[in-house]
Each structure stands twice: as structure tokens, then as C-alpha cells.
Amino acid sequence: MAYVSDDLTHFVGRHLRSDEEEQYETFLSILRSGRLLPGGKEVSGEAMWASFGGTSLCAETMFLPNVVCFSDIPEGDLGLHMSKYGRFGIAFAKKWLIPRGVNPVFYLAVGEGSVSLGEGEGRMPRGDYFNQEVEAIYEALFDYEEGVDEDGSLSSEECEQLFSSLHHSAHFFLRYHVFSFIKCFDSSLPKNDPQNFYMEREWRVHGSIEFQLADVSLLIVPPEFRERLRRDLPGYTGPVLSAS
């Protein structure tokens, strides 16, 4: 059995799972439009910043990335994922998606996971450490933006120059390419728990994905929708997997 798939799959309508008819209509609408949108909405491609203080990286309240998500799971192992996200999926070849910016997330094993703080300094829960350090980085960035230094020794011009450098290397690069690709999960939870995200093997891309039906490598639908899909979407001639 393969460990990973040649395709990446986007599942549709997780929040509509109680109504598969509505899921199907959303699924069909995406295929007819040829666009996958972050959260199903027209948004800019950047990761949005939610002010620090009372927010959390791991709770996903600090960064609100505008991304489309995919799973790297072989067909034979999709059952566990579909039990959490529903039975309607759109798959594309990984080699087609990678040039369009899709990249794996960086998983953080929180829960029981911890990091060393240095010799004689003990350990700290990994989630708490990342929350603390990310907030500290951004507090420093905004302090420099206001021309503030710990000892007040920097001139306004020096602060402006330093912030300009920090803004390029951290405020954009870390926010856009690192922090918005971090996914925390509780490693102590069983693999079928909806909050154990590690089993998703998630990949993300900022902004939308535009495609033609010919670009789709596989569609996944419940068996009772298979024939209906062929009637409703005659332009798609590729394979259809019936998800039980």
C-alpha cells in the first residue's frame, strides 16, 4: 500500500455534512465554476493578522490564512478522512498543483508534546512555546514600527531602517510562508478524532485555484450520486470514485 498519493484531494462541504444534497450542489457549483476559493469566498491571497493579546497560534485565532486545503491520502485510506470531512472530493495531480503554490503544512504535536528551554531551564509545552514566541516576534515588530527600543537608544531613523528589514523578513515571510502553514494537533487524541489533524497530511495554497475539468484527476461522490453526477456534468469524462 502506498504511503502517499500522486493526487491531492480537496473535500467539499464539511460544515454541510448533515445535508448531502446541499453538499452536492456546492460540489457541482465548484466544478462548473472552475474555481476553488478559500472558505468558498472571494478573498485576497494573504494570511490575515488578528491582533495579539487573547489570541493563539494553535487555536488559529492569531492568523486567519486565506487558503485552500488538500489532503495527501491514497484512495484506499480515504475512509477515515471522509468520516470527518464528508464524501465529496475533488482531486488533482500533485505535479499539477505544486507549480501553483501548494505546499505541505508544518504540523506541531501539541497536547503532550514539549520542547527543551535549554540546559537547566526545564521544558515547556510545545503549543505554549510557539504561541509565546510568535507573539513576542510580533510585539517586537510593532514596537520597532513605533520607533521604540528596550533602552531607547535607537534613533527614529535607525528604528525605521530596522523595522523595514524586519518587515520584509518576518512580517511578510514568516506570516505568509511559515505561520499560516503551521497546523497544531493534539497528539494524545485517537486518530479518528476530528481534532487529530495529523492524519490529514494537509497541503495548502494561498488564494484560489482555477482549473478546467480536464485538470481534475478524480472526483469522489457517494454511490447514490454517481449517475447523477455524470448527467449533471457531462463535460467531465475522468474517473469517479464512489465513497461508501
Is 144 inside any structural domain?
yes
Is 95 inside any structural domain?
yes
At 51, the pLDDT band (50, 70, 90 cuts) reads: low
At 44 the pLDDT is 62
Share of the chain above pLDDT 90, in %: 27
Cell of 207: 488564494
Of 4-13, 81-90, 96-105, 162-171, the range with the lowest mean pLDDT is: 162-171
Q: pLDDT tens-digit profile of 79-130?
A: 777 777 788 999 999 999 999 989 898 878 787 777 888 778 888 888 888 8
Task: Give the N- to C-terminal CA distance of the chain in Å, as an integer.
Answer: 20
Find the domain containing 65 and state its range. Answer: 7-242
Is 1 inside any structural domain?
no
Higher pLDDT, 47 or 12: 12
pLDDT at 78 over 70: yes
Is 157 inside any structural domain?
yes
Residue ranges in the chain assigned as alpha helix (H): 20-33, 78-85, 94-97, 126-145, 156-166, 173, 226-232
Is 90 inside any structural domain?
yes
Q: How many domains does the chain have?
A: 1
Higher pLDDT, 155 or 75: 75
Cell of 163: 523595522
At 127 the pLDDT is 86
Average pLDDT, whole number, for the chain? 81
Higher pLDDT, 145 or 201: 201
At 132 the pLDDT is 84
Distances in whole angstroms, Cα of residue 217 to Cα of each of 102, 144, 182, 226, 241: 16, 48, 27, 16, 11
pLDDT at 221 over 80: yes
Higher pLDDT, 45 or 2: 2
Q: pLDDT tens-digit profile of 174-220?
A: 777 788 888 887 777 777 777 677 677 889 988 889 999 999 999 99
Is 2 inside any structural domain?
no
Cell of 142: 510593532
Task: Count Cβ atoms below 10 Å from residue 102 Cβ, excluding itself.
Answer: 21
**List of residues 6+ apart from 209 with CB closer than 8 A:** 35, 36, 68, 92, 97, 100
At 9 the pLDDT is 93
pLDDT at 148 over 70: no
